[in-house]
Amino acid sequence: MATEIAATTWHGNPRPVESFATTVFDAQVASPYYADGRNVPVHAHFVTPVPLTDLAPAATIDVAGPAVLVEFTLDGLWPELTGLQILLTLTGTAVGNYDETLFSPVLEGPVEAAAGVAAAINGHPELTATSEGQKVIVSALVPVTAITITTLTVV
C-alpha cells in the first residue's frame, strides 16, 4: 500500500477553487540512470477536491434509494486490482439489475476511480452515470422507475 509523504492545499486564482495535493510512495524500481542497478523510489501525485481522510480505498453511500437518482462517494487511493462490488437493484427493468465487480487497472486517486466507475455503469442500457469529483451519480432511464444501492463494497 502507498504511504503519504506530503499533503498540500492549493488555492486557485482568479476564482477561489480549493484543491488538495497528496504525494505517495508507490514503489522501488531499478534506476535506468545508474549502472550499478540501484533502486530508486517512485512517487504518485493526486489532486482531489477534498483531503484524503485515509489512504485506504473506501466507498460511502450518499443516497441509497429507492430513488430515480442515487449517489455514492469514493475516497482513499485505489491500488491496482482493488475491486468495488456494486449491486444496483432496478425497479421496472426490462434488462435486469446492475451487478458488477469493477477493478482498478492502476494506482488511482478517488477522482479517477469515480470517473472509471461512472464509465462502467454507463454500459448498462437503462442507467446513466456521471462523476463530480469523488462522487458518482447514477440515474435511471425509461422503463426503470427506481434504483436502490443494495451492495457497495470494496473487495
Give a yes or no: residue 131 inside a domain.
Answer: yes
Could you tell me if residue 68 is inside a domain?
yes
- Same-domain pairing of 36 and 87: no
101 plus 140 within the same structural domain: yes
The three grid cell numbers given for residue 132, joined into one nine-digit string: 463530480
Q: Indicate whether 70 and 134 sit together in one domain.
A: yes
Question: What's at 41, amino acid-wise?
Answer: P
Joined grid coordinates for residue 1: 500500500
Do 150 and 89 belong to one domain?
yes
From 25, 89, 78, select the one nearest 52 (Cα to Cα). 78
- Asked, for residue 124, whether it belongs to a domain, the answer is yes
pLDDT at 50: 73
Decide: 118 and 136 in contact? Cβ < 8 Å.
yes
Residue 53 lies in a domain: no
84 and 147 co-located in one domain: yes
Please tell me the pTM assigned to this model. 0.75
Domain identity same for 42 and 91: no
**44 and 64 housed in the same domain:** no
Mean pLDDT, rounded, for 85-98: 90
Answer yes or no: do 145 and 112 share one domain. yes
Measuring CA to CA, which residue among 84, 92, 152, 96 is closest to residue 123?
A: 96
Is residue 140 in a domain? yes
- Look at residue 103 in the predicted model and tell me its pLDDT: 92
Do residues 73 and 41 share a domain?
no
71 found inside a domain: yes
pLDDT of 119-153, one tens digit each? Answer: 999 999 999 999 998 999 999 988 889 999 999 99
Same domain? For 44 and 62 the reply is no
Asked if the structure places residue 67 within a domain, the reply is: yes
**Number of structural domains the chain divides into:** 2
Q: Is the pLDDT of residue 32 over 60?
A: yes
Residue 133: give the domain boundaries: 58-154
Single-letter code of the amino acid located at 39:
N
The rounded percent of the chain whose pLDDT value lies above 90 is: 39
Whichever domain contains 148, its CATH number is 2.60.40.4390
The reply to whether 18 and 76 lie within a common domain is no
Mean pLDDT, the chain, rounded, equals 84
As a whole number, mean pLDDT of residues 54-73 equals: 89
Residues 98 and 34 in one domain: no
